[in-house]
Structure 1
Amino acid sequence: MLPSQLSSGDVIADRRADYAKMLAESGEPASAAELMEQALELTPRWAAGWFTLANYREKACDLPGAIVALNEVLALDDRDVFGARLKLAALGGAEMPDRPPSLYVERLFDDYADRFETSLVEKLGYSVPGKLAALIAETADIPKHFRLAVDLGCGTGLFGPEVRTRVDRLEGYDLSKGMLAKAAEKHVYDHLGQADLSLEPDLSGLFDAGMAPCRADLITAADVLMYLGNLQAVLTIVRKLSADDAIFAFSVEDAQQPHGFVLRDSLRFAHSEGYVREMLADHGFVVRDLARSVIRMDGGKPVHGILFITSKSA
């Protein structure tokens, strides 16, 4: 359920919020913001309402007002289920966080699961799974068949069919239970489980219930790392998960700058090639191949990415 659809618990406030939504959809965000302000006078502790007001104010080019509303969201919701801190950073109202709140990401993709493939593949031209699988197959001097592959952030399982014939066992992990349910419908994974890639390895869910470390000779993360700014935690997990000489294949959005990572207006992170190489080296991975490519469209514009094929040093 989207924030704008969450009830305030007050019939009149909800009615004004509904009218505000109609105004926003008809291209009148300033008028929509005025109605949301009236709704919030009735229900001042409605976090979802403040978040919706922030969106309307932003669209009406009232950035200071949007920042005020987002700070109200954080005051009411310390778990930050709406990702208000990310939005604040994107608007210049807070420092850039290292990563989004896990609860925000989980809820985002639970809400998105039913329409994910239609939206991403058919409308936005998402192409990472096929391109990443092809790059794995084409990279010289790496295995063409794997004993155990782990698909991190597997989502609805788009990458699974691309690699299934080249692996003996395929595990998929995602933070969103809704996404995992969709992945299960494809019947290509031998095991699916919930995992949080922003946590330390022993808390991530990847080593629960007898799942041993150093078990995978192929690890993939297609269109996942853009939801993690600092890659320290996920690379620590990948290192622990990898057998010696394991292949780690993944994509990032290309920051198109020499160093570091940036938070974009999409609330996704983009990483520079230099930053990724540095983090890989720190965790014992060597880049075997990479390719730059358009990975999807966003707002009618191409999103540029970098696909990496790396291996763990023995």
Structure 2
Amino acid sequence: MHPTHFSSGDVIADRRADYARMLAENGEHEAAVELMEQALELAPSWPAGLVQLADYAVKAGRPEKAIEALGRITDPEAIDMFGVTLKLALLGAADVPEAPPIAYVEALFDDYADRFDKSLVERLDYSVPQKLAELIVAHDDRHFALAVDLGCGTGLFGAEIRTRVTRLEGFDLSANMLAKAAEKDLYDLLARADLSLEASQSGLFEGELSPHRADLVSAADVLMYLGDLGPAFALAARLASPAGLFAFSVEDAGEGEGFDLLPSLRYAHTESHVGARLAEHGFSLLTLHRTTIRKDGGKPLQGILFVATHNP
């Protein structure tokens, strides 16, 4: 994110925002709201300050104030970068988008890259890479010629599957995540790509990167940053060879159809939505496994792991 989004440009406003943050961290959300309002009197169009005010207002039980604050953000770049449309959708003031803004996801993971592994594995008991690799092996104990790891992040899934593949390619939206993955020396190719775009625009088929080249396509803990899974599954279908495997995880939305936007600003998907999108793109479900995938707010977060095969 550009630094000007974080500083108001007014020293006193910034100082009041810092005090408001300390109050919020201490659970004094109403007081934090009042102090942020004082800060914004000095810098009324400050995007980061308005987002802070909205977050504190939600925690103080004042959603109408949060909606008003978010509605004052007019800069399109800031709207995308701070996920304003997602926040408004959670408050019932906008429709739930089928995918988050690219700028929001990219900035989120660029900022998170340095502490990603430590935070997820050591603090949140993140277990998707190991469990997904075990589910693949339990179904098909072969050596794969080429695995394409979509949303590879820092390479946590790549580390689990590397010994079972001849060539491993990783793609991610975040340049900082890709840099961390490169440090592990696991991948034969790392490149930037956007799973929310159509195949021709995604970056997955540029230059010598041909379609239908992978006998394993994975998406470990990445689809929760997409709503409708149609575009991502279309990319997987373009990548997968006939009878190739597609292994991935989602957060579990429970019964019903479709997908839900969660307070975490991630999406949860129903088994029904996943199954319908798989069928639409030429995949047949082989197996699924419901499990705890990590902690969220100190509580177990439930997900579903899938393995499907490509039948074009």
Is 2:263 aligned against 1:280?
no
After superposition, the Cα gap between the structure-2 partners of 1:223 and 1:3, relative to the gap in structure 1 and judged at 3 Å, is farther
Amino acid at match of 1:287: L
1:4 CA displacement: 11
Equivalent residues of 1:4, 1:52 under 8 A apart: no
Is 2:101 aligned against 1:87?
no
My pick for the range that moved more, 184-193 or 37-46, is 37-46
After superposition, the Cα gap between the structure-2 partners of 1:214 and 1:143, relative to the gap in structure 1 and judged at 3 Å, is farther
**CA distance in 1 between partners of 2:81 and 2:304 (Å):** 29
1:2 CA displacement: 10
Per-residue deviation, residues 243-268 of structure 1 (Å, max 9, x unmatched): 11110000011111121111111111
Amino acid at match of 1:117: D
**CA distance in 1 between partners of 2:69 and 2:111 (Å):** 23
After superposition, the Cα gap between the structure-2 partners of 1:125 and 1:133, relative to the gap in structure 1 and judged at 3 Å, is same
Correspondence list, 1:1-314, <5 A: 6-73=6-73, 75-78=74-77, 79-139=79-139, 142=140, 144-314=142-312
**CA distance in 2 between partners of 1:72 and 1:3 (Å):** 20
Q: Tell me, what secondary structure is at the counterpart of 2:81? A: coil
Per-residue deviation, residues 198-239 of structure 1 (Å, max 9, x unmatched): 001111111123211111110000001111010111111111
Equivalent residues of 2:224, 2:266 under 8 A apart: yes
**CA distance in 1 between partners of 2:276 and 2:291 (Å):** 21
**CA distance in 1 between partners of 2:290 and 2:173 (Å):** 27
1:16 CA displacement: 1.4
Equivalent residues of 1:3, 1:51 under 8 A apart: no
Identity %: 59
1:143 CA displacement: 5.7
Amino acid at match of 2:282: G
Amino acid at match of 2:188: D
1:149 CA displacement: 0.5
Cα root mean square deviation, aligned: 1.6
* Equivalenced residues, count: 311
Equivalent residues of 1:3, 1:48 under 8 A apart: no
Amino acid at match of 2:116: F
**CA distance in 1 between partners of 2:98 and 2:177 (Å):** 24
Q: Tell me, what secondary structure is at the counterpart of 1:110? A: helix
Could you state the TM-score of these two structures normalised by the residue count of structure 2?
0.96
After superposition, the Cα gap between the structure-2 partners of 1:2 and 1:292, relative to the gap in structure 1 and judged at 3 Å, is farther
**CA distance in 1 between partners of 2:17 and 2:4 (Å):** 8
After superposition, the Cα gap between the structure-2 partners of 1:116 and 1:4, relative to the gap in structure 1 and judged at 3 Å, is farther
1:76 CA displacement: 2.7
**CA distance in 2 between partners of 1:2 and 1:231 (Å):** 30
Q: Tell me, what secondary structure is at the counterpart of 1:159? A: helix
Q: Tell me, what secondary structure is at the counterpart of 2:142? A: coil
Per-residue deviation, residues 4-25 of structure 1 (Å, max 9, x unmatched): 9811111121111112112222
After superposition, the Cα gap between the structure-2 partners of 1:111 and 1:56, relative to the gap in structure 1 and judged at 3 Å, is same
**CA distance in 2 between partners of 1:156 and 1:93 (Å):** 35
After superposition, the Cα gap between the structure-2 partners of 1:2 and 1:25, relative to the gap in structure 1 and judged at 3 Å, is farther
My pick for the range that moved more, 22-31 or 195-204, is 22-31
Amino acid at match of 2:21: K
